Structure 1
Amino acid sequence: MPLALYRKYRPQTFEEVVGQEHIVITLQNSLKYNHIGHAYLFAGPRGTGKTTVARILAKSLNCAEGPTPTPCLKCASCMEISEGRSIDVIEIDAASNRGIDEIRDIREKARLLPVRDRYKVYIIDEVHMLTNEAFNALLKILEEPPDHVVFIMATTEPQKIPLTILSRCQRFDFRRLTRDEIVKQLAKIAEKEGAKITEGALKLIALQAQGSLRDSISLLEQLLVYGDQEINEELARNLLGLPTYEFTYTFAKALGEYNLAEGYSLLQQIFQMGKNPQQFARDLLRHFRNLLLLKADPRVGNILSLTQEEYDELIEETKLYTIKRLQEIIDQLLILENRLRDLTNAPLVMEMLLIPLFIKPEGGEVILEAPLEKEEKKVEVKKQEPVKEEKKSEEKGIDIEVVKDKWTTVLERVKKKKVSLEAMLREARIVGIDEEGRLVLGLPKTLSFLKERLEERPNRSVVEEKIREVYGVQIPVKFITMEDDLILDNPKISSKKEENLSTEEIRNFFKGKTLE
Structure 2
Amino acid sequence: MSYLVIARKWRPQRFEDIVGQEHITTVLENAIKLDRISHAYLFTGPRGVGKTTTARVFSKALNCIQGPTPIPCLECNNCVEIAKGSSLDVLEIDGASNRGIEQVRDLRENAKLKPVNSRFKIYIIDEVHMLTEPAFNALLKTLEEPPEHVKFIFATTQPNKIPLTILSRCQRFDFRPLSIKLIKQKLIQILEEEGITYEEDAITKIALAADGSLRDAESILDQVICLARDGRIDSKIVEGLLRSIEKEVIRELTQALINGDERESLKILDRLISEGKDIIQIAEAIILYFRHLLLVKILHKEELKNILPVAEIEILEHQAKQISKEEILFIMEIIMEVISRLRYSFFPRVLLEVGFIKICNRARYQLITHVEENCAEKRTKYTPDNKDDIDGEKHNRENPDIREERTPFRKDNLSLEEVRKVWPEIIEILKEKKMSLASCLMNSEVDKLENNLLTVRINSQSSFPTEFLKERENKMLVEELLNQKLNVRLAVTCIKGNNDRGEMSKKREIFKNPKLKKISTILNAKILKVVEEDESRDSGQTDRKVQ
TM band (smaller chain): 0.5 to 0.7
Shift of 1:241: 0.9
Deviation of 1:328 after TM superposition, in Å, equals 2.3
Out of 85-94 and 240-249, give the one that drifted further. 240-249
State the one-letter code of the partner of 2:43.
Answer: F
Taking a change above 3 Å as real, the CA distance of residues 85 and 270 of structure 1, as seen in their structure-2 partners, is farther
**1:316 partner SS:** helix
1:188 matched to 2:180: no
In 2, distance between residues paired with 1:363 and 1:277? Answer: 24
Counterpart amino acid of 1:74?
Answer: E
State the Cα deviation string for residues 273-316 of structure 1 (Å, max 9, x = none).
Answer: 45565454333223223434555x6x655533456764443343
With over 3 angstroms needed to count, the CA separation of the structure-2 counterparts of 1:284 and 1:181, relative to structure 1, is same
Deviation of 1:349 (Å): 4.9
- The aligned residue for residue 247 of structure 2 is 245
Q: Does 1:26 align with 2:27?
A: yes
Match of 2:136 in 1: 135
Q: Name 1:304's counterpart in structure 2.
A: 304
Please state how far the C-alpha of 1:59 moved relative to its aligned partner: 1.4
Taking the aligned partners of 1:5 and 1:342, their CA distance within structure 2 comes to 39
Measured against aligned partners, the alpha-carbon deviations of 1:438-497 in whole angstroms (never above 9, x if no partner) come to xxxxxxxxxxxxxxxxxxxxxxxxxxxxxxxxxxxxxxxxxxxxxxxxxxxxxxxxxxxx
Residue 162 of structure 1 is matched in structure 2 by 163
User: Is the contact made by 1:254 and 1:260 (CA closer than 8 Å) also made in structure 2?
Assistant: yes
Partner SS, residue 225 of structure 1 = helix
Contact 1:241 1:274 in 2 (8 A): no
Deviates more, 1:178-187 or 1:327-336: 327-336
Paired with 2:373 and 2:91, the residues of 1 have a C-alpha distance of 69
CA gap of 1:276–1:231, structure 2 versus 1, over 3 A, is: farther
Instruction: State the 4+ residue runs in structure 1 displaced beyond 6 angstroms.
Output: 341-345, 370-374
Give the deviation of 1:265 after TM superposition: 2.8
- 8 A contact 1:285–1:334 mirrored in 2: yes
CA distance in 1: counterparts of 2:164 and 2:122, whole angstroms: 22
Matched, 1:116 2:124: no
Structure 2 matches for 1:167-178, cutoff 5 A?
A: 167-178=168-179
Determine the C-alpha separation between the residues in 2 that align with 1:362 and 1:303: 35
Q: Give a deviation string over 1:164-200, Cα, whole Å, max 9, x none.
A: 2112111111111111111111012122333221111
TM-score, structure 1 as length reference: 0.66
Compare 34-43 and 331-340 and name the one that shifted more.
331-340
Amino acid at match of 1:266: I
More moved, 117-126 vs 95-104: 95-104
Tell me which residue corresponds to 1:232: 234
Between the aligned partners of 1:344 and 1:80, the Cα distance in structure 2 is 55
Q: Secondary structure at the match of 1:10?
A: coil
Looking at structure 1, the residues matched to 136 and 34 of structure 2 have their Cα atoms a distance apart, in angstroms, of 31
Please give the residue correspondences for 1:71-90 in structure 2 after superposition, counting only pairs within 5 Å.
Answer: 71-90=72-91
- Structure 2 counterpart of 1:148, one-letter code: H
**Which residue, 326, 333, 355 being the options, matches 1:331?**
333
Task: Show structure 1 runs of 5+ residues with no match.
Answer: 378-412, 418-516
Which residue of structure 1 aligns with residue 272 of structure 2? 270
Aligned to 1:93: 94
SS across alignment from 1:171:
strand
Which residue type is aligned with residue 192 of structure 1? E
Q: Which amino acid aligns with 1:219?
A: I
Say whether 1:197 aligns with 2:198. yes
* One-letter amino acid matched to 1:120: K
What is the CA-CA distance between 1:26 and the residue it aligns to? 1.4
Aligned to 2:316: 314
Task: Please list, as runs of the form range in 1=range in 2, the aligned pairs for 1:360-379 lying within 5 A after superposition.
Answer: none
Amino acid paired to 1:139: L
For 1:343 and 1:225, the matched residues in 2 are separated by 39
The separation in 2 between residues aligned to 1:371 and 1:277, in whole angstroms, is 32
- Corresponding residue SS for 2:42: strand
Note if contact 1:88-1:120 (Cα within 8 Å) is conserved in structure 2. Answer: yes
- Which residue of the partner structure matches residue 213 of structure 2? 212
* Letter of the 1:313 counterpart: I
**In 2, distance between residues paired with 1:271 and 1:130?**
43
Q: Give 1:260's aligned residue.
A: 262
For each residue in 1:246-289, what CA deviation from the matched residue of structure 2 results, as whole angstroms up to 9, or x when unmatched? Answer: 22221110111222332223223434445565454333223223
- Cα shift at 1:227: 3.5
Of residues 357, 360, 371 in structure 1, which corresponds to 2:359?
A: 357
Q: What is the CA distance between 1:114 and its match in structure 2?
A: 1.3
> Contact 2:228–2:237 (CA<8 Å) still a contact in 1?
no
Secondary structure of the 1:206 match is helix
Alignment size in residue pairs: 379
AA at the equivalent of 1:108: E
Hey, what does 1:11 align to over in structure 2? 12
The correspondence of residues 290-301 of structure 1 with structure 2, limited to 5 A, is: 290-292=292-294, 300-301=300-301
- Whether contact under 8 Å (2:304, 2:313) holds in the other structure is no
Q: How far, CA to CA, are the matches of 2:311 and 2:10 in structure 1?
A: 35
* Aligned residue identity for 2:250: T
Other-structure match for 2:526 = none
**Residue 290 to residue 105, structure 1, CA distance change in 2 (3 Å):** same
Mapped partners of 2:182, 2:346: distance in 1: 36
The structure-2 alpha-carbon separation of the partners of 1:204 and 1:88, relative to structure 1 and needing over 3 Å to count, comes to same
- 1:256–1:212 CA distance, 2 compared to 1 (3 A): same
Tell me, in whole angstroms, the C-alpha distance in 2 between the residues paired with 1:220 and 1:343.
Answer: 36
Q: For residues 361 and 65 of structure 1, do their structure 2 counterparts lie closer, same or farther at Cα, with a shift above 3 Å needed? A: closer
Alignment RMSD = 3.4
CA spacing shift, 1:228–1:209, aligned 2, 3 Å = same
Q: Secondary structure at the match of 1:42?
A: strand
Report the Cα distance in structure 2 between the residues aligned to 1:346 and 1:41, rounded to whole angstroms: 42
**TM-score, with normalisation over the residues of structure 2?**
0.62
Distance change >3 Å, CA 212–CA 195, structure 1 → 2:
same
1:62 corresponds to 2:63? yes
Question: Using a 3 Å threshold, how does the CA distance of structure 1 residues 190 and 274 change in structure 2: closer, same or farther?
Answer: farther
Structure 1 counterpart of 2:245, one-letter code: P
Cα pair distance change 1:72/1:318, threshold 3 Å: closer
**What is the CA–CA distance in structure 2 between the aligned matches of 1:76 and 1:274, rounded to whole Å?**
55
8 Å CA contact 1:196–1:228 kept in 2: the answer is no
Please state whether the residue corresponding to 1:45 is helix, strand or coil.
coil
Please tell me the residue identity of whatever aligns with 1:166.
Answer: L
Between the aligned partners of 2:357 and 2:53, the Cα distance in structure 1 is 46
Which AA in structure 1 matches 2:303?
Answer: I
Give 2:42's aligned residue: 41
Which segment drifts farther, 160-169 or 318-327?
318-327
d(CA) in 1 for partners of 2:375 and 2:179?
Answer: 44
**Equivalences for 1:441-460 in 2 at 5 Å?**
none
The structure having more radius of gyration, on CA atoms, is 2
Distance 1:44 1:66 in 2: 28
Q: Are the structure 2 counterparts of residues 264 and 131 from structure 1 closer, same or farther at C-alpha, using a change threshold of 3 Å?
A: same
Determine the structure 1 residue equivalent to 2:501. none
The amino acid that maps onto 1:231 is I
Aligned-partner residue type, residue 304 of structure 1: L
**Once the 2 structures are TM-superposed, how far is the Cα of residue 87 of structure 1 from its aligned partner?**
1.4
| 2:288 alignment counterpart | 286
Q: Name the CA distance, whole Å, in 2 between partners of 1:152 and 1:371.
A: 52
**Closer, same or farther: CA 65–145 of 1 in aligned 2, 3 Å:** same
- Distance 1:217-1:279 versus aligned 2 partners, 3 A rule: farther
User: In 1, Cα distance between the equivalents of 2:51 and 2:367?
Assistant: 50
The farther-off stretch of 11-20 and 349-358 is 349-358
Separation in structure 2 between the aligned mates of residue 254 and residue 71 of structure 1, nearest angstrom: 58
